[in-house]
Copies of this chain bind each other. A is one copy, B any other.
Amino acid sequence: MNGAECLLRTLAACGVDTCFMNPGTSEMQFVTALDRVPQVRGILCLFEGVCSGAADGYARMTGRPAATVLHLGPGLANALANFHNARKARSPVVNIVGQHTTRHLRHDAPLTSDIEAIARPVSAYVRTIARVEDIASETVEAVRAARQARGVATLIVPADFSWSEAGERGWPAPNDSAITVDAARVRQAAAILRSGEPAALLLGGRTLLAAGFEPAARIAANTGARVLANRYGARYQRGGGRLAPLRLPYFPEAAQARLAGLKHLILVESAAPVAFFGYPNSPSLLAPADCALHVLASPDENGSAALMELATQCRADSLTIPPPELPLPDWPAPGALTLDAIGRAMSRLLPPDAIVAEEAVSSGELILRHLAAGPPHDHLPVTGGSIGQGLPVAVGAAVACPGRKVIALEADGSGLYTPQALWTMAREHLDITVVILANRRYRILDIEIERTGAGKPGPQADRMLDLASPPIDWVRLAQGFGVAARCASTTDDFAAALRDSMARLGPSLIEAVLS
């Protein structure tokens, strides 16, 4: 079989069965091989940032890598921003990038670029295949690298290798060795918690799923420790009466307040808490200066197992923690649409096990705080801060989890970096409801401009934050990409639109015009 088919069959054998692609001439063999390898589902995206963001969303929900197939260096370049987010989310992705033929490369044709150099800043692993007979083994290695590093493994495939005879497909690599719990660190954490000094567990990574924070809650009940969540986790399970740790706030002063008084911060699959940006007269590190940081489990380790062990040592094994009593929020009062009203309506209308892909830095909190009292759901937030992740992550989550409703909670500014994701939602009939939070500003920058001491914006500066002239009509944009859409500017309109979207399968968009 040729190299492209060999690669796809090897991916399938390794359990990689979903491929978000935007192929060009150098990747045509992968396209025709799709019909010979039906185990791999090819999903076309109109822009490469949709491919990379979708692979991130897929990995966040499944823990498994999807593949991306991209066209040469510039195609890869368009995918970098969302690969940055995937890297920060620790999402495994097998990133296949076509290259000119080995013979053509030396001639500096128009599309020639240094693909390895473009890939490296976002990749945990970068390889260019050097011999066609290595395609199977190189593919296995790339899958293994993506899984082990939980990152982007980039495999660059010269076009002539795709059409040359490549031999048999490869066999899956053995399972990654399980990482054990570090008993010394568990003992140390237990001693700290027994000391009575103010302490908190800061959860990240997979401990933000129910199986992780459940033992943390028992530890907290038995020791008085606080349980907090790193802000930049990849996936949070919340709602449905489940316990859920409080996420650290976005702005450093609020995060500092949350951490105030602590003498010990025990990190569980989490980095030390840092501010998103540096500001004049504001520290980057958020924990108090006299707070000691301890690592219970690094982001590479199994924090949930370590928490189970720690719970045993804290004699919190058999505790039963009553579910938090969070009354369902009241229905929003009629009137002009607000973020609070959106949150209330969502908490009442979301079906169980919905997935909320959220990219709404300035608007999100006022909505999300109501969802904790709603039905059980997964929340996929901003991880790396590259703008334009929300709609692609929703695509990937919907592909990963058929049968679950996905809500993309998207800012009107951020959504405009990758609006092409809407077309893939329509093409693949994905069950996604996009809620565009239309304040017609880069609202977060209104806040940041003040925080950075940049002074009051004059008329020219104001134009750099303004999305109202001309206003962007998201209903037409969505319809242009084949997605049914409507606009809501009152509470009742929004609730009706959301109810409709929840009641049917397939993509739709609600432009929530905020007053």
Interface residue ranges, A against B (CB under 8 Å): 21, 23-26, 28-29, 31-32, 34-36, 38, 42, 44, 46-47, 49, 71-75, 77-78, 80-81, 84, 88, 100-101, 103-105, 107-111, 113-114, 117-118, 120-122, 159-160, 163, 232, 271-272, 274-280, 284-285, 382-388, 413, 416-417, 419-420, 423, 426-427, 444-445, 448-449, 451-461, 463-467, 469-477, 479-482
B residues less than 8 Å from A118 (CB atoms): 80, 118, 121
Are the CB atoms of A77 and B81 closer together than 8 Å? yes
Are the CB atoms of B469 and A109 closer together than 8 Å? no
B residues less than 8 Å from A473 (CB atoms): 479-482
Report the minimal beta-carbon distance from A11 to chain B, rounded to whole angstroms: 15
How far apart are the CA atoms of A104 and B252 in the complex, in Å? 12
B residues less than 8 Å from A49 (CB atoms): 78
Report the minimal beta-carbon distance from A289 to chain B, rounded to whole angstroms: 15
CB contact under 8 A between A74 and B386, given known A277-B159, A445-B25: yes
Report the minimal beta-carbon distance from A436 to chain B, rounded to whole angstroms: 11
The one of B21, B72, B88, B100 that contacts A110, using a Cβ cutoff of 8 Å? B88
B residues less than 8 Å from A114 (CB atoms): 121
This protein's copies in its complex: 2
Are the CB atoms of A461 and B77 closer together than 8 Å? no
Report the minimal beta-carbon distance from A418 to chain B, rounded to whole angstroms: 9
Are the CB atoms of B385 and A465 closer together than 8 Å? no
How far apart are the CA atoms of A36 and B454 in the complex, in Å? 12
B residues less than 8 Å from A467 (CB atoms): 46
CB contact under 8 A between A74 and B280, given known A417-B47, A481-B477: no
How far apart are the CA atoms of A460 and B72 in the complex, in Å? 22
How far apart are the CA atoms of A449 and B77 in the complex, in Å? 23
How far apart are the CA atoms of A104 and B455 in the complex, in Å? 21
CB contact under 8 A between A163 and B100, given known A34-B461, A84-B77, A276-B109: no
B residues less than 8 Å from A75 (CB atoms): 81, 387
CB contact under 8 A between A111 and B472, given known A34-B461, A74-B384, A453-B163: no
Most buried by B among A72, A285, A463, A476: A476
Most buried by B among A75, A452, A459: A452
